Amino acid sequence: MDWCPRCAFVPSGAGSTCSRCGLFLDRLLGAAEWRGELSHQADWDGIDKEDLLIIAPDSSGDTFERSRHLNVLTERGVNWHLVADANIIPLLKEMFPKGRFTPFGSELPKFRSWTWLMEGLKGFSPGRPEPATIVVPEHWKKDFSVTSPSVGVCFRAAERYDWVKFRFIEDRGVEQITQLPNIDWISLQYGEQKPPGNMRIPPFGPWHQTAGLIAKLDAVISADTAIAHLCAILRKPCIVIHGTAHTSVTEYADYNNLYPNSPFKQFVPTYGGFEGGRPAWKKFIEWANKTPEWWKRV
């Protein structure tokens, strides 16, 4: 394996653990036998159209973003099979009805060559193809009722390494955001039973159920998380609020560049200055207070 499917740009080294982010590769792929099986098959040459196995990254957000390349493969007649997190597969099946999918940890299907979804398709589909979109089935929406205007909030990325320090909205920011009046505030923070601020907590299940909930909302506020990427697929208006990092030398994900045809508005912290800088969530609140029906202005 040449690349860690989480880090993508950094070699994973000779062992079974990535030297940069600590991802345990054997656990991701389900069994140590996978490593041997992949090592005995050819890396994809970008030409062969038969039985291509693609390994998705460990990150749901990266899988959503890079799935745009699967459209190009399908259009060019490549017979592909994606290995991904079981929780994300129902959503991917809706995006790619003709696709074939296997969950991590299952027996590998037969394949002739393989590559990573995160990095392996760049040469085949250079640039950023338009992402796949879906129309959410009605039965995905049935588990939770909302009152318009309704806004979902996802305030923390689920990363397990140091990038998390600027992929969250701090608690006091969430508390002040959800004090904005006359909004049905809904938590989109998976596994958080007592989120900060004034939010209702929906039942959480696989990703397709989250997609059903987001489809019912008027807008979403998110840190740089998988929820923001999912909003692009759903064409749901999304406000991305970037967290304050330990240094101003920080490259924030640019969702307007990633998804030029999706409704995004971004707020980035100001660093330094006489008052020591301003967090992005304060900038958002100032904008929302002077923008009537701000959830429609994304």
How do residues 64-116 score in pLDDT, each as one tens digit?
A: 999 989 988 988 899 999 999 899 999 999 999 989 999 887 888 889 988 88
Full-model pTM: 0.86
pLDDT bin (cut points 50, 70, 90) of residue 249 is: low
Above 90 in pLDDT, residue 245?
no
Report how far residue 214's alpha carbon sits from residue 225's, in angstroms, rounded to the nearest whole number.
14
How many domains are there within the chain?
A: 2
Above 60 in pLDDT, residue 238?
yes
Among 81, 116, 151, residue at a domain's last position = 116
pLDDT digits (tens, 9 = 90+) for 116-163: 887 767 667 667 788 888 889 998 888 789 999 999 999 998 764 545
CATH number, domain with residue 74: 3.40.50
Which residues neighbour 45 within 8 Å (Cβ) at sequence distance 6 or greater? 113
CATH number, domain with residue 184: 3.40.50.2000
For residue 232, the model assigns a pLDDT of 95
For residue 17, the model assigns a pLDDT of 54
User: Which residues span the domain enclosing 32?
Assistant: 25-116
Average pLDDT, the chain: 83
Same-domain check for residues 145 and 107 = no
Same-domain check for residues 92 and 178 = no
Above 90 in pLDDT, residue 11?
no
Among 86, 116, 146, residue at a domain's last position = 116
Same-domain check for residues 277 and 166 = yes
pLDDT digits (tens, 9 = 90+) for 268-278: 998 865 555 78
Same-domain check for residues 149 and 74 = no
Same-domain check for residues 54 and 92 = yes
**71 lies in a domain?**
yes
Same-domain check for residues 152 and 109 = no
